[in-house]
Amino acid sequence: MVIQMNSDRAVFLVNEMLGVSILVSAPLLIGTLIVGLLISVFQVATQIQEITLTYVPKLAVSALILLVLGSWMLGLITQFARSAYSTIPTLGQ
């Protein structure tokens, strides 16, 4: 038994997957980017060249973002997974 997937359906699933991954990763990436830029400006202004200075604030911001938005991120991933699994029985049609 050969199951064929329509190319439109495959493109839709990949597009939906990329959209969900962008939505889930954007808050962490933007938060750490802003903190990294602020610390870089601070290091340039004060001429403090400590390499490890950026890690602790980025880690703290990442943890804070995950605490605040973690349930939303997990819900979004779960919703996508459920919709992807629900389309499995219709793939052979």
In a domain, 20, yes or no: yes
Q: How many CB atoms lie within 10 A of CB 65?
A: 17
Number of folded domains that form the chain: 1
* pTM (global) more than 0.85: no
Of 69, 36, 37, the C-alpha closest to 54 is 36
What was the pLDDT predicted at 65? Answer: 97
In a domain, 53, yes or no: yes
pLDDT tens digits, residue range 70-91? 999 999 999 999 998 988 887 7
Tokens of residue 17, six digits: 């997957």
What was the pLDDT predicted at 92? Answer: 67
Q: Is the distance from CB of 20 to CB of 80 less than 8 angstroms?
A: yes
Q: Is the distance from CB of 60 to CB of 31 less than 8 angstroms?
A: no
Query: Residue 63's domain spans which residues?
Result: 13-87
Q: For the chain, what is the total number of helices (H) and then of strands (E)?
A: 2, 0
In a domain, 59, yes or no: yes
- Ranges of the chain with pLDDT below 70: 1-5, 92-93
